[in-house]
Amino acid sequence: MPKKESSDLLEKVDKKEKNKKMLSKNGIVVDLPKEELLRIYYLMNLSRQIDNKAMTLLKQGKTFFHIACSGHEAVQAALGIMMDPAKDWSFPYYRDLTFILCLGYTAGDFFLQCLAKDDDPSGGGRQLPCHWGTNRNFKLPSQSSPTGTQFLQAVGTALASVKKGINSVSYVSSGEGTTSQGEFHEAVNWASREKLPVLFHIENNKYAISVPVWKQSGGEGHSISEMMKGYHNLLRMKIDGTDFIESYITARDAFNYLRSGKGPVLIESDVVRLQSHSSSDDQKKYRDHSEIEEDLKKCPIDKFRRQVLENELATEKELNDVLAKVQSDIDKAVEFATQAPDPLPGEASRYVYDESGFKESFEYEQEETTGSNIVMVDAINHCLHEELERNPDIYVFGEDIADNKGGVFTATKGLSTKFGDERVFNSPLAEASIMGVAIGMSLAGLKPVVEIQFGDYIWPAFMQMKDELATIRYRSKNAWASPVVTRVAVGGYIHGGLYHSQNIESIFAHVPGIYIAFPSNAADAKGLLRTAIRINDPVLFCEHKGLYRQSYAISTEPGKDYLLPFGRGKVVREGTDITVVTYGASVWDAVFAAKRLEDEGVSVEVVDLRTIIPLDEELIYSSVQKTNKVIVLHEDTLTGGFGAEVAARIADNCFRFLDAPVKRIAAQDAHIPYSPILENAILPSREVVYKGIKELAQY
């Protein structure tokens, strides 16, 4: 669809209406009552004076950071008043103060966050100022610092709304610099392809901190809307965002388009940045004085005031009364926030995970495994079938997961045939898109269970997982959560070379807020996956592809209600001389070595952790106290592998019980090659495991 020029959006005054007082400019009218115009003037000035007060507090040493909205107020007000707070979703970036004030965020709310108070609705002092969020009365999920991650989440909430049959809009904004991020383009692609009601608002103030737009955008004239002209269903608008009249007419047309189901809208609003990027920046270092002075002449609040006065819609006194009320309200808000309680130090580590007691209420391991024998990949497939049937809010998607393919390992075979493409569907070939959209869907109350085809390719999604998925509950002080389940095939021994053989658990174990499961057999895979799907925390579910159809990983299949608890390992082989702590495919390497050593008079106890996070420390320590010798075994590299963490905890807690050093067996610190000969030389082979255990037993 061609760009809709702003001049095409402007309504002409009807001859019969010429004598009626309305806000107008060059024959363009905004038919808003006087009371609403005064409210808009109040909100724009409230935003501006909050900026000024925040900088004053910072200079007084009472706060530490601020990002100003000054120069962006008009277009934000025009869009903000169009939102339906009860239905529409908001993902505003840090400069969207006027917009969130239109939604219902108050000056008191702002200063609670600015002063890092416990009652701060955005996160109880956990988030930097200007990182908006609240679940009180309107849908504003906790926002974060990484630029561009919010776009895909907005797409996720829009997708959830469409699937629920709710006619809502998902608003998401950023500066023009953020459009250089790949996730912006992924989000526009997904929204345009599926005609999702996402409003992409790009506030172009010409500077991404110090980098000018002509060094950012490849669009014609360095325009963001021109850069995105190839998307057929995307309505593009480029406007003067300092002019409320033009912004309002554009906003009205945009929301009509969005609510009609025709597709997404991108508004590029030319605005001005009247203050430095943030309180940590000084724009005088990289901007000419004359350029800054020219921007000051384009102040949107001054422009709006002139328009109201010229159209005789309010008097000077009425507008000045608004300014007096703004100052009074800010003074009251600051006093209120200053007297509010500070966060308690003892609360600092709360809400990394769900603390409601929900997962503790489950009945675990209650159902006997009396079914037929089953391989691990089929156990996973059956669990997905059963949970999709049980819970209509579960959605499964990823690359190649729909029928007739059913996933590269057939773990999702038959799901789309049975439950339809609405609930089980192929995603674009973009891991960040999979994760970002899943996060948005989960924020809207759905339960995404996504597949990342190989652990080697999860890294484009890593920022969404580490900076968003893992932190949402914590940074919002338990107001928001994102319990996405991420299934991923990992591990070597399939001759997959460097890029189909990685183990990833140690890297994710370093990220608070994500549980990690790593089953070694079919029954455990089914029980742990079911628990992962039902709890209210995000889970990384590692599936060793070498175990998918392996005979020794076959188990009797558990039933539809079989759940395994996270954080509870299992002694899979009793022993008295030495303990091997391990997980995943390495469990079987330990078991086979233990059988071999039994013939040599060495009794080996094998502990299967089953989950990495949480870790069953009690089981580990009790086994070590019994055997007095321990090896930690895993397939990942030695340096920085999760075994180092286990070994350190054993050393801290069991030193007095040890008769030998804590040893580790792991892969060499190298990449995994394609040749079976070379692969076996890198990974911990069964011969290496056997010799390592034997050597420690003889210590």
Q: Is 671 a catalytic residue?
A: no
Residue 419 CA to residue 142 CA, distance in Å, equals: 32
The answer for residues whose C-beta is within 8 angstroms of residue 600's C-beta and 6 or more apart is: 694
DSSP 448-491: EEEEES-GGG-GGGHHIIIIIITTHHHHTTTS-----EEEEEE-
Determine how β-strand 578-582 pairs with β-strand 555-556. unpaired
Residue 30 CA to residue 23 CA, distance in Å, equals: 5
Q: Out of 131, 201, 500, 634, which one is annotated catalytic? A: 500
Residue 98 and residue 73 in contact, taking contact as beta carbons nearer than 8 Å: yes
Q: Cα dist. 293→243, 299, 330, 561 in Å?
A: 18, 10, 27, 68
Residue 358 CA to residue 287 CA, distance in Å, equals: 54
DSSP 359-427: GGGS-TT-S---S-EE-HHHHHHHHHHHHHHH-TTEEEEETT-STTT--TTSTTTTHHHHH-TTTEEEP
Q: Return the residue matching tokens 């989440």.
A: 153
Q: Tell me phi and psi for residue 666, to 5 degrees.
A: -155, 180
Residue 85 CA to residue 46 CA, distance in Å, equals: 20
DSSP 610-626: SEEES--HHHHHHHHHH
Residue 472 and residue 484 in contact, taking contact as beta carbons nearer than 8 Å: no
4 alpha-carbon distance from chain centroid = 32
Residue 465 CA to residue 432 CA, distance in Å, equals: 9
Please tell me the chain's helix, strand, coil percentages from 3-state DSSP, rounded to the nearest 5: 45, 15, 40
Residue 95 CA to residue 72 CA, distance in Å, equals: 8
Nearest to 268 by CA among 91, 72, 70, 32: 72
Sign of torsion, CA 348 351 357 359?
Answer: negative
Residue 498 CA to residue 176 CA, distance in Å, equals: 37
Residue 303 and residue 247 in contact, taking contact as beta carbons nearer than 8 Å: no
Residue 692 CA to residue 664 CA, distance in Å, equals: 9
Residue 455 CA to residue 689 CA, distance in Å, equals: 24
Active site residues: 500
